[in-house]
Amino acid sequence: MSELRNRIGKEDALKKLSQETFQRKTVSFYRYVIIKDPQAMRDKLWQEWNDLGVLGRIYVAHEGINAQINVPEPVWNEFVEKLHARKEFSNIPFKVAVEEKEESFWKLTIKVKKQIVADGLTENEYDVTNVGTHLNPEEFHKAMEDENAVVVDMRNHYESRIGKFENALTPDSDTFRDELPMVKKLLKGQKDKKVLLYCTGGIRCEKASAYLKHNGFEDVSQLYGGIINYAHEIKKTGKKSKFIGKNFVFDDRVDEAITNDVLSQCDQCDVSSDRYVNCKNMTCNTLFIQCAGCEEKMNRTCSTHCQKIAALPLDEQKRKRAGVKHTFKRYRQQIRPKKYQNRLFGWFRDVFSR
């Protein structure tokens, strides 16, 4: 139903949020479960959650649901009760955000997808009912001490760039689709190893563990609840975190600090920094690391060309963007090595020279 979507603009939405007198709770959840009619489920959830004032990004598919949302605290219990009342989502576990630095979402978006996590696999390449062993944070800690264990980060390289588990393999992948065969190659000849997988909330590890088991890796385990649940448990117990740095999150917060370690550098001056920003030139919008000094100097842009574009009057910027297709759209959510950035910046220079 085309009318079941949020038509409010970002500026108006943020103004409305700033006037709220209550707090919001940011959570994520997923479940692999057969949904017979994803479109019908999508429409029902949109009506229900829109009425409750829920905001966020949700994917619904035949294979299940994947959601990152924030919920007004006054209606939290009602939200949970209604969600759990659906047999597909009965007692579905929530991962509560580690930090509530600011509003994580400003509108409600629910999309029907072919998969809740795009993996590029065919049905005969994995069996999602045959996944790795779920380990709680304490069990994961103990397993990491095994000399025969290898820890693998199942997130993209721009995520592991600002935070990771100690001594973890961090594949230089742009997407989860790219990462699966990359991990299999990295682990070649190590099928006798104890493979320990982790990701943000656990959803990617479900398929990754099933994929590895299908390819002959017998001892595969995964961190239950991902980094989000791990961080909560570490804070509760007071144990020293084996995850260092920040956890990258896919909402307007961008990241949440687990420890104070800074693992990365500014992409423009190489000073120690882990501040991800999006280029102020809205057609570029490249996600990259920029220190406070460079943000001030470059006006939160990724290049001198984008700095010039961002300084133009808004009407002029809109005119230059008119009809421009995002040929490099994938870069909008991914930081690239500088040699790739230079190629990207050259493309934007050519586009805006017209």
Residues with a catalytic annotation lie at 199
Where does residue 28 fall: left (phi above 0), alpha (psi -120 to 50 degrees), or beta otherwise?
Answer: beta
**Cβ atoms of 198 and 179 closer than 8 Å:** no
3-state secondary structure of 246: strand
C-alpha torsion angle, residues 45, 48, 53, 59 (rounded to 10): 0
Residue with structure tokens 């959840």? 29
Q: Can you tell me the distance from the alpha carbon of 63 to that of 30, in angstroms, rounded to the nearest whole number?
A: 11
Question: Of all helices (H) and strands (E), which one includes residue 25?
Answer: strand 24-32
Give 32's strand partners.
Answer: 64
Whole-angstrom distance, CA of residue 109 vs CA of residue 89: 19
Q: Token pair 């563990």 is at which residue?
A: 209
SS3 124: helix
Q: Please answer whether residues 290 and 275 qualify as being in contact, where contact means their C-beta atoms are separated by less than 8 angstroms.
A: yes
Cα 5 to Cα 33, 41, 353, distances in angstroms = 24, 14, 36
Alpha carbon distance 59, 203 (integer Å): 12
Residue 232 and residue 106: Cα distance in Å, rounded? 25
